[in-house]
């Protein structure tokens, strides 16, 4: 939109310059009355162009304000989603509890009900723990 506004502004400037030059060329050939009519027509066109530029500016302001509001909303949502240290530590404690219950032999569904989480989360936590355990075993075997 900014490029369009700049383009229109440049176009208006070029148009006005061309109109002035054409007016001077025309003055040599025609009467003052005709020239005044032409000048009045050019002024109307220039006013229309100015109005269009103002409308574009207003539209740009509204779009910018809307975009900023959307950005602020997204920032707020992102801040809400980022876990704090306190919530992260409680999540780690919960994850350890899930792993402990799973190692005791409880089913994923039972753990899901106890911990108030869906079974997909439970499976991911258990799989990730198994992955970490396998990785540590391999490192110990190499070392």
Structural domains of the chain, count: 2
For 84-101, what is the mean pLDDT?
71
Boundary (domain end) residue, out of 50, 81, 112: 81
Residue 26: predicted pLDDT: 67
Please indicate, yes or no, whether residues 12 and 33 belong to a single structural domain of this protein.
Answer: yes
Please indicate, yes or no, whether residues 72 and 99 belong to a single structural domain of this protein.
Answer: no
pLDDT in tens, 45-66: 889 988 998 998 888 898 989 8
Residue count of the chain: 143
Which stretches within 30-142 are classed as H helix?
Answer: 32-81, 85-104, 108-115, 119-142
Q: What is the mean pLDDT of the chain?
A: 79
DSSP element (H, E) containing 13? helix 2-27
pLDDT band at residue 44 under the 50/70/90 scheme: very high
Contact present, 53 and 9 (Cβ < 8 Å): yes
pLDDT band at residue 30 under the 50/70/90 scheme: low
């Amino acid at each position: 939109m900014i490029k369009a506004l700049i383009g229109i502004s440049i176009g208006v400037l070029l148009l006005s310059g061309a109109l002035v030059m054409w007016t001077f060329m025309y003055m040599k050939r025609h009467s003052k009355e005709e020239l005044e009519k032409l000048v009045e027509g050019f002024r109307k066109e220039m006013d229309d162009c100015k109005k269009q530029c103002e409308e574009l500016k207003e539209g740009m302001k509204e779009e910018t304000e809307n975009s900023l509001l959307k950005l602020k909303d997204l920032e707020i949502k992102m801040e809400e989603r980022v876990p704090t240290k306190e919530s992260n530590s409680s999540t780690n404690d919960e994850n350890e509890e899930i792993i402990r219950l799973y190692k005791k032999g409880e089913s994923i569904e039972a753990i899901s009900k106890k911990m108030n989480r869906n079974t997909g989360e439970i499976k991911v936590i258990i799989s990730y723990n198994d992955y970490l355990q396998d990785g540590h075993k391999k490192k110990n075997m190499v070392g």
